[in-house]
Amino acid sequence: MTDERPEPPLTGGERETLRAFLDFHRATLAWKCEGLSDEELRRRSMPPSTLSLLGLVRHMAEVERTWFRRVINKEDVPLVWSDDGDFQAAYDASGATRSEAFDAWHSEVEHARRIEAEAESLDVTGHNARWGEDVSLRLVMLHMIHEYARHNGHADFLREGVDGATGA
């Protein structure tokens, strides 16, 4: 695995630092999936869990879509893999392919980057219907870093289970 993740700044401003850490974590998920076949990416952690590296990619596409497009940008778009709003559905990647999952994820990341870059400030707000609260772009950026950090920990174990590869 070649580690080409961006280095977050040590003394950057708030928005620059949030953006860089989010991109670092996005790159970490891609790095954990590097060089694996579709079959290896679909390999589940342990029964009865459906958790796999490909499932994590699909889940993060849903998370990016929800927080940036649905919450901050107020777009009326459905989830990618569930008609009834079930975020867990994305985890089941049993019939998924790398190209299907990564195409969706890359598309959502690009939407997210555009929405964040076009936002006037980190104080821009959107409404999170599940929480019943308005949230700032700042909170969304921090929440996304948290989501990726949690799931990248899962990805560490999943990748090691596939081929023994480890790394931060």
Task: State if pTM tops 0.85.
Answer: yes
- Asked if residue 154 belongs to a domain, the reply is yes
**What residues pair up with 133 in beta bridges, in sequence order?**
128
CB 151 within 8 A of CB 59: yes
pLDDT at position 59:
96
Domain span including residue 127 = 36-163
DSSP structure class, residue 8:
P
pLDDT at position 1:
61
pLDDT at position 86:
86
Q: How far apart are CA 62 and CA 83, in angstroms?
A: 12
CATH number of the structural domain spanning residue 107 = 1.20.120.450
Tell me the backbone φ, ψ of residue 58, rounded to 5 degrees. Answer: -65, -45
Looking at the 3D structure of the chain, how many domains does it have? Answer: 1
Q: pLDDT tens, 85-126?
A: 888 899 999 999 999 999 999 999 999 999 999 999 999 999
- Residues of the chain falling short of pLDDT 70: 1, 168
pLDDT at position 148:
98
User: Which residue bears the tokens 């952690």?
Assistant: 45
